[in-house]
Amino acid sequence: MTNFHDKVIYQIYPKSFKDTTGNGIGDLKGIIEKLPYLDELGVDMLWLNPFYPSPQNDNGYDVADYTAIDPMFGTWEDFDTLVQEADKRGISLMLDMVLNHTSTEHEWFQKALAGDKKYQDYYLLREAQADGSLPTNWESKFGGKAWSKFGDTDLYYLHLYDKTQADLDWRNPEVRQELYDAVNFWLEKGVKGLRFDVINVIGKDEQLSDADDGVGKKLYTDTPIVHEYIQELNRETFGKYDDVVTVGEMSSTTVKNGIDYSHPDRDELSMIFSFHHLKVDYKDGDKWTKAPFDFLELKKLLDEWQRGMNEGGGWNAVFWNNHDQPRANSRFGDVDNYPFETATMLAQTIHFLSGTPFVYQGEEIGMTNPNFNKIDDYVDIESHNAYQELKNRGMSEAEVMEIIQEKSRDNARTPMQWDDSKNAGFTDGTPWLKIPENYKERNVESKRVSQSIRDYYKQLIQLRKEYKLIQEGSYESILLGHQSIYAYMREYEGQKLLVLNHFYGDEAIIDLPQHLLKKEARYLLGNKGERQLEEKFMMQPYETVAFLLD
């Protein structure tokens, strides 16, 4: 089994990384062009979001063909070159496998619509209930109901996401075989990593029924059969290789399930993404609200997952950002007054935790939310649905736009800011999504803040490779109730790492426990330069610092 505890994975959103053709959309050639940049950063693997043929209603997560490349992203030759050129630099590729649903433009769905029984059995088609209501009362995660009319029949098909993303019936062995074939296809092409989209919702009940809460999540999330399917997926595909790294995206999961999904003895996945820590600025659990983040809750959740997964032998992917999340530094810090401190403090918090760190493109140069003020500047389907829903609730345009600015998934999807030339050096054409205004000072070439943040990331990535303590150490939080500092300790073979992270823009003091002060402390890394460890440890705004205790 390949080691993934010492790796750092970099996520590329191909559509927004680098355009080489002038069509305003990033492409595979653009990734090839930037391999030296990624190599210099020190990352081991590149997770690429979907680049398969797709109507792009959900930016590629509506896959119309699992084993092809959308020409707008490039050719097979480009793909092969990318694999080879990355390999020369010791970098491998992780592809996104969207196996819960297909686009309604997928050939299978089209054949089903045309009346082919075999393909109708690939999807979850049901009749209306006796009283004429939808087959179940479940809600779609993108707003509205989870069922739509199946052509001009009396049937409905299930879609947990957009209505153009039809859920597959995993109970059908033929469906599973088709999906395993698709996964094997990419493995044979030299792919060494797989990211499985919303994989813990594939196991729906055989009898689909109304949910008491009118939402339905419990009836299809983390069901026991999901574990069986993942074990089969493992056996039939990547389990045949000993150098493939896998990560499952887990919607609303639990520590107990997280352990089961990622414990090496269970032959499921290498690790999982969980999202509870990224909901601490949802008011009453509703994403589409504006609220300051709850710091104590954030710490409680990080701590619960660190401790729980460590004790149970599971493995976390650790991250703040991805293509579905607003930029973490806009969310948990102060990007106007402390852009360097915010970005590096957040990075250090994650990189020294137990788990495999994921860096999302642009995070390493301090990219921020763009704060567009017109809904038409946003492309994302979920944002447009939310805009309508909030408007329908009677909110004013200004109130709605404030929420969209904070919560839209497009916050992360704006094009990579390479330099201060037109369109931030991303494209010669018109970018598919607008470039944030701050690209002139926040870009890869900029000698000021961006470069310092990037240098810091390089150090964090190197330190993980150097220290078994960072890769394998146990985890323990310190003074979890502290109002503004998240302090934790890692330990491995008698060596300790103390990490102190200050999440606010004022000064704060932490009274460190005596047993830590008895040790010999060596400064390892911090964003305010070298520090001495002392009992009443004063921290500057958004400061982070780590000490080795021998």
Which residues are the active-site residues? 197, 249
Number of residues that make up the chain: 550
Q: How far is the CB of 226 from ligand NOJ (least distance, A)?
A: 15
Asked if 166 and 156 touch (Cβ cutoff 8 Å), the reply is no
> Does the footprint of ligand NOJ cover residue 273 (CB under 6 A)?
no
Task: Output 161 or 456, the one with its CB closest to ligand NOJ.
Answer: 161
Task: Output 72 or 508, the one with its CB closest to ligand NOJ.
Answer: 72
Q: Which amino acid is at 30?
A: G
Structure tokens at 146: 């989870």
> What b/e readout covers 444-473, taking b as 16+ CB neighbours within 10 angstroms?
bebeebbbbbbebbebbbebbeebebbbeb
Strand partners, 96: 195
Task: Output 194 or 521, the one with its CB closest to ligand NOJ.
Answer: 194
Chain-centre distance for alpha carbon 343: 17
Task: Output 269 or 499, the one with its CB closest to ligand NOJ.
Answer: 269
Q: How far is the CB of 61 from ligand NOJ (least distance, A)?
A: 3
The end-to-end CA distance of the chain, in Å, is 31
Q: How far is the CB of 11 from ligand NOJ (least distance, A)?
A: 10
Q: How far is the CB of 401 from ligand NOJ (least distance, A)?
A: 22
Give 320's contacts (C-beta < 8 A, 6+ positions apart): 278, 328, 332, 346, 350, 360, 363
Asked if 318 and 353 touch (Cβ cutoff 8 Å), the reply is yes
> Does the footprint of ligand NOJ cover residue 161 (CB under 6 A)?
yes
Q: How many residues bind ligand NOJ (CB under 6 A)?
A: 9
Among 52, 61, 486, 537, binds ligand NOJ (CB under 6 A): 61
Q: How far is the CB of 110 from ligand NOJ (least distance, A)?
A: 19
Task: Output 380 or 543, the one with its CB closest to ligand NOJ.
Answer: 380
Asked if 526 and 537 touch (Cβ cutoff 8 Å), the reply is no
Residues 323, 47: Cα–Cα separation, whole Å? 11
Q: How far is the CB of 200 from ligand NOJ (least distance, A)?
A: 11
Contact characters 242-271, ligand NOJ, x per CB under 6 A: -------x----------------------
- Give 45-77 as a 3 state SS string: EEEECCCCCCCCCCCCCCCCCCCCCCCCCCCHH
> Does the footprint of ligand NOJ cover residue 58 (CB under 6 A)?
yes
> Does the footprint of ligand NOJ cover residue 364 (CB under 6 A)?
no
Task: Output 339 or 415, the one with its CB closest to ligand NOJ.
Answer: 415
> Does the footprint of ligand NOJ cover residue 380 (CB under 6 A)?
no
Q: Give the residue at shortest CB distance from ligand NOJ.
A: 61
Residues 543, 167: Cα–Cα separation, whole Å? 45
Structure tokens at 35: 């391999």
Helix (H, G, I), strand (E, B) or coil at 217: helix
Among 12, 98, 233, 453, binds ligand NOJ (CB under 6 A): 98
Closest to 212 measured CA to CA, from 129, 104, 138: 138
Task: Output 323 or 442, the one with its CB closest to ligand NOJ.
Answer: 323
Q: How far is the CB of 463 from ligand NOJ (least distance, A)?
A: 29
Please report the DSSP string for 79-127 in residue order.
HHHHHHHHHHTT-EEEEEE--SEEETTSHHHHHHHTT-HHHHTTB-EEE
Closest to 148 measured CA to CA, from 170, 167, 122, 130: 167
Contact characters 187-216, ligand NOJ, x per CB under 6 A: ----------xx------------------
Strand partners, 526: 545
Burial of 191 (0-12, 13-18, 19+ CB in 10 A): buried
Residues 105, 53: Cα–Cα separation, whole Å? 10
| Interface with ligand NOJ in residues 488-547 (CB under 6 A) | none
Contact characters 305-344, ligand NOJ, x per CB under 6 A: ------------------xx--------------------
Task: Output 89 or 276, the one with its CB closest to ligand NOJ.
Answer: 276
To 10 degrees, what angle do helices 381-392 and 397-407 make? Answer: 150
In this structure, are strands 356-360 and 147-149 parallel, antiparallel, or unpaired? unpaired
Q: How far is the CB of 31 from ligand NOJ (least distance, A)?
A: 19
Phi/psi region, residue 23 (left: phi>0; alpha: psi -120 to 50; beta: rest), is: alpha
Q: How far is the CB of 324 from ligand NOJ (least distance, A)?
A: 5
Task: Output 161 or 320, the one with its CB closest to ligand NOJ.
Answer: 161
Q: How far is the CB of 63 from ligand NOJ (least distance, A)?
A: 9
Task: Output 15 or 496, the one with its CB closest to ligand NOJ.
Answer: 15
- Which residues of the chain form contacts with ligand NOJ (CB under 6 A)? 58, 61, 98, 161, 197-198, 249, 323-324
